[in-house]
Chains A and B, each alone.
Chain A
Amino acid sequence: MGLAKRIIPCLDVNAGRVVKGINFVGLRDAGDPVEIARRYDEQGADEVTFLDITASSDGRGLIIPIIEAVSAQVFIPLTVGGGVREVADVRRLLNAGADKVSMNTSAILNPNLIAEAAGRFGSQCIVVAIDAKRADTASGWGVFTHGGRNATGLDAVAWAEASARLGAGEILLTSMDRDGTKEGFDLDLTRAVADAVGVPVIASGGVGNLQHLCDGVIKGGADAVLAASIFHYGEYTVRQAKDFMAAQGIEVRL
């Protein structure tokens, strides 16, 4: 026995409200991040990730009071991503109660941001999120931004290695080919990155059923699996996912 594989529900937050249908029985307010995070905690989620998708600049700061409120009531690790542009943003989120902060486009534009943030706050709280898609690069996957529309020219595996070298403590790897398809993770991509880096890798993008979560760990070599819609729409609870994984011999926290 040893370290458990983690299941991480992801919540999209827009201007202070959780978006996407949250289908918990008896939920008073389907958009309330605190209540939703607490439900996930009760189900046995190992961490919760908040992704701030707020497009308008005036709504962006609203994630801060949310993280403050959640961290005062939910005692599992919280990761926050979206709109992190500079070290000051990382500091603000950590001070609000985030345990880890994830950066994506800003790290691509300025890789030194990873080193600077890790040097200041420690690698343990710096996650680099990579949106990858099949492309004509060395590994066969490129790094994309803007929801998979813009190619950066970077190779996904090489960028993951560089991120870890610069100080990222974890890689959140999303397949843009699979995201939203419910066809399962891109297992070859997951395996390529998990084998290439010495830091933990979170698989993301494409989960449609519980077998997909198992495949991400067993075939993809992921240390953690992230999913949104299968939990949000009440198809499965985190507890069901863990029971299913445990039955396949995957070590989980029950």
Chain B
Amino acid sequence: MTHIAVIDYGMGNLRSVAKALEHVAPEATVEVTGDPERVRAAERVVFPGQGAMPDCMRELDRRHLRQPILEAAQSKPFLGLCIGLQMLFESSEEGPTPGLGVFSGHVRRFPDDRMFSPAGQRLKVPHMGWNEVRQSGKHALWSGIPQDARFYFVHSYYVQEHDSGVGAASTHYAFDFTCAVARENVFAVQFHPEKSALPGLALLGNFVHWKP
């Protein structure tokens, strides 16, 4: 029985993430936890996030979760979601608090002066709703998910990686931005698979069975 830890650091609702994992993996033990030892004990780790990245980083440190998260990102199947993707980078325009630096690169805000459609219409921020995800190549977590399947997004910041080899998918909103990164045992996405109906559940199911 796989033991999956959903890391809880007090920022927002993790119920949906846990319920979606339980739905796709009824045989797994899904534990929402903020206990560093429980994160260390888990076989798989899901790292979600909501709200502002600097607040999230502060809460992580307050709960002594930075080290177990870095360990997990080096050693076991690891899935970052939304702010959980952004926190894996080095820094963010959202605040001066540095990120975890698992990936090299920065988190940027959608720039107001570029948020226009080709027809000249203003594009709203947050980028909210269902958008197409263009997979950059094959990956176990994309298994069974059609190219350009729509996932649910809600965010005002996006990641810009320095190492172009880690991009696993992109999405177009005024311009193409990286919406998924992958390296070895780590996979992280900007969208919310737990709110993305069938493609989202497929991705979570793939994660539960992933053997990186």
Contact = CB atoms under 8 A, between A and B. Distances in A.
Interface of A: 1-6, 41, 46, 68, 71-73, 75-77, 94-99, 120-125, 169-170, 195, 198-201, 221, 223-224, 253
Interface stretch (B63-71, B97-105, B126-134, B178-186): B126-134
A124 B129 contact: no
Contacts of A75: 16, 20, 23, 194-197, 200-201
Contacts of B93: none
B23 A199 contact: no
Given A5-B129, A76-B195, A195-B122, 17 more contacts: A2-B132, A6-B129, A6-B130, A46-B130, A75-B20, A75-B23, A76-B152, A77-B152, A77-B154, A97-B15, A97-B19, A99-B195, A121-B12, A122-B51, A170-B128, A199-B124, A200-B129
A200 B62 CA distance: 34
B112 interface: yes
Contacts of B74: none
Interface in B19-50: 19-20, 23, 50
A227 B99 CA distance: 41
A243 B78 CA distance: 38
A169 B51 CA distance: 12
Nearest to A4: B130
Chain B contact residues: helix, strand, loop or mixed: mixed
9 contacts: A3-B130, A96-B15, A97-B13, A124-B154, A169-B126, A198-B125, A201-B124, A224-B129, A253-B130
A3 to B, nearest CB: 5
A170 B192 CA distance: 18
Contacts of B52: 122
B150 A253 contact: yes
B194 A169 contact: no
B155 interface: yes
B16 A2 contact: no
A71 B129 contact: no
Contacts of B129: 3-6, 46, 200, 223-224
A123 B132 contact: no
Contacts of B195: 75-77, 99
Interface string B190-212: 00101111001100000000000
B128 A200 contact: yes
A199 B129 CA distance: 12
Chain A contact residues: helix, strand, loop or mixed: loop
Contacts of B172: 1-2
| Residue among B112, B152, B156, B173 facing the most chain A CB atoms (10 A cut-off) | B152
B61 interface: no
A99 B132 contact: no
Given A2-B172, A122-B50, A199 B19 contact: no
A253 B199 CA distance: 12
Nearest to A76: B197
Contacts of B117: 2
Contacts of B156: 123-124
A75 to B, nearest CB: 5
A97 B17 CA distance: 10
Contacts of B148: 1
Nearest to B118: A2
A129 to B, nearest CB: 16
A223 B124 contact: yes
B155 A124 contact: yes
